[in-house]
Amino acid sequence: MSRNKDKEPENFIVETYKNTLAGDVQTIRWWAHEKILVGGSILSGQDWQHLKEQYSAAGVLSVEAERHDGNKGIDGPYVHLPAPDDGLPKPGEWWAAGIAFMAAYFEKQRGPLYIHSQGGRGRAPAMAYACMRVVFKMSREDALGFIRKTLHDYGDSPAHKAYMASAEEAIALLSRTFAAKS
């Protein structure tokens, strides 16, 4: 299914594919927001070209600790912020680095950003949530609502709760820091 460039994408799964880098695990790609495509590993340079052509992806934020995208020909803004898929809270510095990258990325109004982890169901949605909260200035309820339009039970598991709680701690700290500088 391709992205309709004349209409904002809805929050839905656009692809299901086998992640051959992770033992052929069934993986998804989905719109978390009109500017954020979330999913699993980028498989190859050809897969990156597919993301650019099919969904207009213009940059990548990878939170996948299992592998790096360095050999995949990513020719747009890219940051690799590896985080283990361990269900534990992530440090404030990790969130701050991701949010800073996304703020700079969207300040230049580029095409959609592809945020990925290995499977696109844990770490990547949490980073998309943080972006929507800080960069797009959404409430907790609205940002989580965008995620839950596709991942209906996101935030219910212990791992998701840990990711979300640490995201909110970092967001609160960042908000105080930005307010003090104003």
Tens of pLDDT along 78-117? Answer: 999 999 999 999 999 999 999 999 999 999 977 899 999 9
Q: Give the domain range for residue 149.
A: 13-181
Query: Is 7 domain-assigned?
Result: no
Q: How many domains does the chain have?
A: 1
| Residue 1 reports pLDDT greater than 70 | no
**pLDDT score, position 4:** 40
Query: Is 154 domain-assigned?
Result: yes
pLDDT band at 129 (very low <50, low <70, confident <90, very high): very high
Per DSSP, the residues of 26-72 read EEEEEEEETTEEEES---SHHHHHHHHHHH---EEEEEESS---TTS
Query: Is 8 domain-assigned?
Result: no
Range 152-162 average pLDDT = 91
**pLDDT score, position 2:** 39
| Residue 176 reports pLDDT greater than 60 | yes
**pLDDT score, position 182:** 46
Query: Is 134 domain-assigned?
Result: yes
**pLDDT score, position 10:** 53
Query: Is 70 domain-assigned?
Result: yes
| Residue 11 reports pLDDT greater than 70 | no
pLDDT band at 180 (very low <50, low <70, confident <90, very high): low
| Residue 5 reports pLDDT greater than 50 | no
Both tokens of 26, joined, read: 């069934």
Query: Is 5 domain-assigned?
Result: no
CATH number at residue 118: 3.90.190.10
pLDDT band at 50 (very low <50, low <70, confident <90, very high): very high
**pLDDT score, position 38:** 96
Cβ 124 vs Cβ 63: under 8 Å:
yes
Alpha carbon distance, N-terminus to C-terminus of the chain: 44
Range 45-56 average pLDDT = 96
The CA distance from 178 to 173, in Å, is 9
